[in-house]
């Protein structure tokens, strides 16, 4: 089931994109956190998490997203989620994540938002 938990990272101009796979659970969350921390150490402060492939999340995986939000708050960075399914969008709103991270419909909208406020 390894493929369900893969995380891919891409670097843009002043931002980084992390792509999650089918299931965001503890295993995927830890991998996501590892890649995020590496990019943070490289100096990236603006992140987009593209969840287009993600169909299922659990609260353990989301708790790792909250850790990432916390780190970016401390450093004055930004996190934008994009391509959320309806249930993931609803879950983030129930938990209040959207008070501390933005949600955009597509990666292009997320990039545009980062560039507007750069």
Q: Which of 17, 57, 111, 114 binds other proteins (CB under 8 A)?
A: 57
Q: Are 78 and 103 in contact (CB under 8 A)?
A: no
Q: Which of 14, 100, 106, 118 binds other proteins (CB under 8 A)?
A: 100
Task: Choose the binding region for other proteins from 6-14, 37-45, 64-72, 110-118 (rule: CB under 8 A).
Answer: 64-72
Q: In 3-state terms, what secondary structure has residue 12? A: coil
Rounded Cα distance between 114 and 58, Å, is 27
- Return the exposure string of 65-79: e unless at least 16 CB atoms fall within 10 Å of the residue's CB, then b: beebbebbeeeebbb
Task: Choose the binding region for other proteins from 7-15, 39-47, 50-58, 106-114 (rule: CB under 8 A).
Answer: 50-58
Q: Is 6 in the site for other proteins (CB under 8 A)?
A: no
Q: Are 33 and 4 in contact (CB under 8 A)?
A: no
Q: Which residues bind other proteins (CB under 8 A)?
A: 1, 23, 25-27, 55-60, 62-63, 66-67, 69-70, 73, 85-87, 90-91, 94-97, 99-100
């Amino acid at each position: 089931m390894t493929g369900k938990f893969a995380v891919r990272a891409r670097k843009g101009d002043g931002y980084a994109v992390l792509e999650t796979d089918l299931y965001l659970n503890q295993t995927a969350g830890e991998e996501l956190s590892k890649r995020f921390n590496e990019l943070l150490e490289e100096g990236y402060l603006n992140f987009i998490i593209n969840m287009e492939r993600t169909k299922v999340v659990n609260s353990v995986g989301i708790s790792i997203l909250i850790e990432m939000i916390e780190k970016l708050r401390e450093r004055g960075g930004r996190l934008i989620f994009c391509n959320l399914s309806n249930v993931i969008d609803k879950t983030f709103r129930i938990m209040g994540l959207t008070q501390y991270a933005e949600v955009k419909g597509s990666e292009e909208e997320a990039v545009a938002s980062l560039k507007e406020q750069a």
